[in-house]
Amino acid sequence: MSGFSDDLSDAQAKALAEIKGNACDVSSNPVVDDEYLLRFLRARDFDVAKAEKMLRQCLKWREEIDIENHQNRQTPEVLKLLPNISLPIGKAKNGSPIVYLNYTGADMKGLFRCIQTKDFMWWLCYELEMADAVVRSTSKPYKGLTLVCDYNRISMDVLSKQNLDFEKQFNPIMEKNFPEIVNKVLILNGSTVLHIFLKLVKYLIPKETLSKLEFLKDPKDLKKFIDDDQLIGHYGGTLVDEDGDPKFSSKIIYPTKIPESFYIAPNFADYELNSDYTKVEIGRGKEISVAVEVATIGFSIIWFVLSKDGELEIGINFKAESGDVEPVEPMSKVNCDVCPESGSKICSKVGTYTVVIRNNAVLKSKKVAYNVEVLKEDDSEPILTKL
């Protein structure tokens, strides 16, 4: 049996009933229904314990990034020049809605000079959520979407360390929080650069997802999977938008070179002269810890970190009264020499929090400027600055 809601074995139906019972405390969440639960069960081969753990971690993640209230976040203007995951346009022959992702001409080098990695990652999660919401509401049983990826004229920039580091962070997020979202991936114009890129990130992609990839040499080959009246005119179909545009430019972004006016690459010397920032040199393989006391739940820790000499790792720990140290923001690599890294974390506990800044290089020390503050819940002036 396939494990979809219209094709369940007795054992699979029993597993569904079991996870529904176990997760009854989250049943009021609007995304949690039978179709949603089955996605986690299929992703974990109907192991109820593993599927339930994955479900709860996903719901916690959704709450932490507040993905339900995505409309409240401001969209950086530069994102209009970057590849996007479109809303569904038409349906494939297998019945799954089609979304498009066009990397043709994408300026990946410029991307990481004008936006923080976590903001771009959040934007892609938001787009996935928007597309997934349409699929959830229009497709029963839920069988995911068909993703058409156009990699024509991609440059060597996709092989840059910044882009590869981004893929290492984003792919696990997608796999853990959007299970079974992909039904088929149709890849156009599979150049040598693309094959090298996929070889480098292949280990990040689940085997089940790899089996769904189809490499197509010609756009005409899309018609093996999509009927003419469901394929956009730009790729040889007959489908156009309300304005008669065969490219569906209202939904699909066709990337262009990012003007340097968008770049926010930092000038370290400016921060060396600014008394609001602490300047230190972190030895190779060493780290510094910036401790702040939080006296009220709901206050936020905010940080700004800039490196003169390369990437760093940043994370936050909480120290309990017992002395046990608990990570609340896992250590992650940030290219804060390319783009200043800033962020915030709402504190759910009272006590001591430590922002850790680590130099993961084995050959050189790094000059760093940083600022760590605690803000009240109402976003008023900082009540404490630990430098």
Q: What is the per-residue pLDDT across 27-51, written as a single tens digit (0 to 9) for each?
A: 899 999 999 999 999 999 999 999 9
Mean pLDDT for 216-240 is 95
In a domain, 373, yes or no: yes
pLDDT at 117 over 70: yes
pLDDT at 380: 43
Condensed to tens digits (0 to 9), the pLDDT of residues 316-369 reads: 999 887 888 899 989 988 888 777 787 778 888 888 999 999 998 888 999 998
Domain identity same for 197 and 86? yes
What domain range includes position 292?
A: 268-385
292 Cβ contact list (under 8 Å, min separation 6): 301, 352, 353, 354, 355, 372, 373, 374, 384, 386
In this structure, the number of other CB atoms found within 10 A of the CB of residue 51 comes to: 26
Q: Which pLDDT belongs to residue 297?
A: 86
Same domain as 276, residue 244: no
From the list 127, 117, 252, the residue with the least C-alpha distance to 178 is 127
pLDDT score, position 385? 40
User: Read out DSSP for 165-212?
Assistant: HHHHHHHHHHHHHSTT-EEEEEEES--HHHHHHHHHHGGGS-HHHHTT
**Beta-ladder partners of 375:** 300
- Domain assignment present for 136: yes
User: Do both 195 and 134 map to the same domain?
Assistant: yes
- Is 4 contained in some domain? no
- Shared domain for 243 and 281, answered yes or no, is no
Distance CA 387, CA 375 (A): 15
Average pLDDT over residues 158-185: 87
Query: Tens digits of per-residue pLDDT, 238-269?
Result: 999 999 999 999 999 998 888 888 887 566 66
What is the C-alpha to C-alpha distance for residues 238 and 273, in angstroms, rounded to an integer? 60
Whether 387 shows a pLDDT value over 80: the answer reads no
pLDDT of residue 318: 94
Same structural domain, 149 and 251: yes
Bridge partners of 149, per DSSP, are: 101, 187
What is the pLDDT confidence band of residue 376, given thresholds at 50, 70 and 90? low
For the stretch 86-107, what's the b/e string if a residue is b when 16 or more beta carbons lie within 10 angstroms of its beta carbon? bbbbbbbeeebbbbbbbbeebb
In a domain, 376, yes or no: yes
Question: Is residue 190 one of the residues assigned to a domain?
Answer: yes
Tokens of 23: 């997760």
Q: What is the chain's alpha carbon radius of gyration, rounded to the nearest angstrom?
A: 23
- Structural domain includes residue 227: yes
- Report the distance separating Cα 127 and Cα 121, nearest Å: 10
The pLDDT of residue 378 is: 46
When mean pLDDT is compared across 69-73, 116-120, 280-284, 327-331, the lowest value belongs to: 69-73
Q: Which residue has the tokens 């349409």?
A: 134
Measured distance CA(156)–CA(97) in Å, rounded: 31
Binned at pLDDT 50, 70 and 90, residue 220 comes out as very high
User: Which of 297, 305, 309, 299 is CA-nearest to residue 363?
Assistant: 309
- Tens of pLDDT, residue by residue over 128-155, are 998 999 899 888 899 999 999 998 878 7
Instruction: Mention every residue, 6+ apart, whose C-beta is less than 8 A from residue 47.
Output: none
Is the CB of residue 111 less than 8 Å from the CB of residue 258?
yes
Mean residue pLDDT of the chain comes to 86
pLDDT band at 283 (very low <50, low <70, confident <90, very high): very high
Residue with token string 């394929």: 231
40 or 69, greater pLDDT: 40
